[in-house]
């Protein structure tokens, strides 16, 4: 309605299968903080949707027709682009975020041409791990999804709790999550830890000569300073604007490198076809998923073998509800109904 200001829409993205696990709880707490600042909030759980792996065909870039894979990612990306702000939470498995985060990050390529033209939006991220000694890649790789989506990270945190829901016993952590949600609405950049990249929060640095270092994820440059027997990594203010994920850098990478690779490839294609013949002759070595449930005497069946070896279509057929079906009921005390799910809400079960 004309003259009425629309409230900010903040979308909470949960990358955990656990219902009411630590990731979900902290994302919901962050949304409570966003609502306290007047935002309208929504939730989605990535495991409720079909996310296939990017097959690298590059048709989304060269033909600009969107992704050909028949899953839910195109719908998901539209929701992510439509949101005024994001809160992304994920558990940590073997040092890094759950695999759905990487799968979704790869599929952002399908909308990269639109993202490089959009102004940055605020986002906050929450990584959950069991032990501090096993979380080193969780935060920067989770932040990478927000950065690839063209977001400006207002705050990020790593929470530690081994059991589902156990995070509720850490009041300071819950309060921190609420502040993250507020920052998405207010735009306030929350304080960052010392000795980390100001863009992705990574604490990994590559020497660049002398006392110079750079972040391998963002290519932000800093320098080592020593005072009082302690070494500190210091970044210049321009590191906040001159990095791999800035709008200008992403636009240059997309238009100046990715798009021109098509002509480069087509020019080399005749020689490539000739050179790859010996490798085509090795296709009889692919393992194939057995027709029966088990190999005789081999114990549990093999699972997750590459689909390419079956000789079938790269796109798995879907059985999906009719579009527009409402999914689930309002979540108690938080958010709106999950009315824009492509099908009924499917609980991932207890735990």
Specify whether 216 is located in the same domain as 141: no
Strand extents, DSSP E, 105-229: 121-129, 151-160, 206-207, 212-214, 221-227
Specify whether 207 is located in the same domain as 122: no
Specify whether 68 is located in the same domain as 49: yes
How does residue 228 score in pLDDT terms, banded at 50, 70 and 90? Answer: confident
| Boundary residue ending a domain (214, 240, 259) | 259
**SS3 of residue 305 by DSSP:** coil
Q: How many whole angstroms separate alpha carbon 321 and alpha carbon 310? A: 27
Specify whether 137 is located in the same domain as 185: yes
How does residue 64 score in pLDDT terms, banded at 50, 70 and 90? Answer: confident
Specify whether 168 is located in the same domain as 178: yes
Asked if residue 14 belongs to a domain, the reply is yes
**SS3 of residue 185 by DSSP:** helix
User: What pLDDT, on the 0 to 100 scale, is given for residue 229?
Assistant: 85
Q: Which domain holds residue 199?
A: 193-259
Asked if residue 297 belongs to a domain, the reply is no
User: What pLDDT, on the 0 to 100 scale, is given for residue 239?
Assistant: 78
Specify whether 35 is located in the same domain as 107: yes
User: What pLDDT, on the 0 to 100 scale, is given for residue 286?
Assistant: 92
Asked if residue 301 belongs to a domain, the reply is no
User: What pLDDT, on the 0 to 100 scale, is given for residue 313?
Assistant: 34
| Boundary residue ending a domain (243, 259, 275) | 259
Give me the mean pLDDT over the 241-260 stretch. Answer: 91
Lowest model confidence (mean pLDDT) among 63-77, 136-150, 179-193, 320-334? 320-334
Specify whether 252 is located in the same domain as 336: no
- Percentage, residues of the chain above pLDDT 90: 70
Asked if residue 330 belongs to a domain, the reply is yes
User: What pLDDT, on the 0 to 100 scale, is given for residue 293?
Assistant: 59
| Boundary residue ending a domain (230, 259, 288) | 259
Give me the mean pLDDT over the 51-72 stretch. Answer: 92
Q: How many whole angstroms separate alpha carbon 29 and alpha carbon 11? A: 13
Q: How many domains does the chain have?
A: 2
Select the highest-mean-pLDDT range: 258-262, 301-305, 345-349.
258-262
User: What pLDDT, on the 0 to 100 scale, is given for residue 346?
Assistant: 39
Asked if residue 167 belongs to a domain, the reply is yes
Residue 264 pLDDT exceeds 70: yes
Specify whether 117 is located in the same domain as 226: no
How does residue 209 score in pLDDT terms, banded at 50, 70 and 90? Answer: very high
Asked if residue 55 belongs to a domain, the reply is yes
Q: What's the CATH number where 168 sits?
A: 3.40.50.360
Global confidence as pTM = 0.80
Asked if residue 104 belongs to a domain, the reply is yes
Specify whether 160 is located in the same domain as 93: yes
Specify whether 147 is located in the same domain as 70: yes
User: What pLDDT, on the 0 to 100 scale, is given for residue 348?
Assistant: 41
Q: What is the signed CA dihedral for 82, 121, 63, 102, rounded to 10 degrees?
A: -100
Specify whether 197 is located in the same domain as 246: yes
User: What pLDDT, on the 0 to 100 scale, is given for residue 163?
Assistant: 92
Digit-coded pLDDT (tens) for 145-169: 999 999 999 999 999 999 999 999 9
- List b or e across 175-210, with b for residues whose CB sees 16 or more CB atoms inside 10 angstroms: ebbbbbbbbbbbeeeeeeeeebbbbbbbeebeeeee
Specify whether 63 is located in the same domain as 52: yes
The residue that leads in pLDDT, 130 or 346, is 130
Asked if residue 296 belongs to a domain, the reply is no
Residue 6 pLDDT exceeds 60: yes
Residue 251 pLDDT exceeds 50: yes
Select the highest-mean-pLDDT range: 84-98, 288-302, 327-341.
84-98
């Amino acid at each position: 309605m004309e003259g009425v200001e629309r409230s900010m829409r903040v979308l909470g993205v949960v990358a955990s299968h656990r219902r009411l696990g630590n990731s979900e709880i902290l994302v919901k707490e962050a949304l409570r903080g966003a609502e306290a600042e007047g935002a309208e909030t929504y939730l989605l759980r990535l495991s409720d949707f079909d996310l296939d792996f990017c097959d690298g065909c590059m048709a989304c870039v060269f033909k600009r027709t969107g992704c050909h894979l028949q899953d839910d990612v195109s719908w998901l990306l539209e929701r992510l682009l439509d949101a005024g702000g994001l809160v992304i939470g994920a558990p940590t498995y073997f040092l890094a975020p759950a695999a759905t985060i990487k799968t979704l990050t790869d599929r952002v390529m399908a909308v990269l041409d639109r993202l490089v033209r959009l102004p940055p939006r605020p986002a906050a991220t929450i990584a959950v791990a069991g032990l501090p000694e096993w979380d080193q890649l969780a935060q920067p790789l989770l932040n990478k999804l927000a950065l690839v989506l063209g977001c400006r990270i207002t705050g990020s945190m790593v929470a530690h709790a081994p059991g589902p829901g156990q995070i509720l016993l850490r009041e300071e952590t819950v309060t921190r999550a609420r502040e993250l949600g507020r920052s998405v609405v207010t735009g306030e950049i929350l304080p960052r830890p010392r000795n980390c990249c100001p863009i992705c929060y990574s604490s990994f640095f590559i020497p660049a000569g002398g006392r110079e270092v750079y972040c391998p994820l963002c290519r932000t440059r800093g320098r080592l300073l020593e005072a009082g027997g302690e070494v500190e990594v210091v970044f210049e203010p321009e590191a906040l604007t001159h990095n791999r994920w800035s709008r200008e850098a992403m636009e240059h990478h997309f238009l100046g490198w990715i798009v021109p690779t098509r002509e480069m490839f087509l020019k080399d294609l005749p020689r490539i076809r000739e050179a790859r013949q010996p490798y085509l002759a090795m296709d009889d070595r692919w393992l194939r998923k057995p027709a029966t449930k088990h190999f005789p005497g081999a114990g549990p069946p093999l699972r997750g073998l590459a689909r390419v070896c079956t000789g079938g279509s790269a796109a798995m057929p879907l059985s999906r509800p009719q579009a527009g079906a409402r999914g689930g009921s309002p979540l108690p005390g938080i958010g709106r109904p999950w009315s824009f799910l492509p099908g009924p809400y499917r609980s991932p079960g207890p735990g």
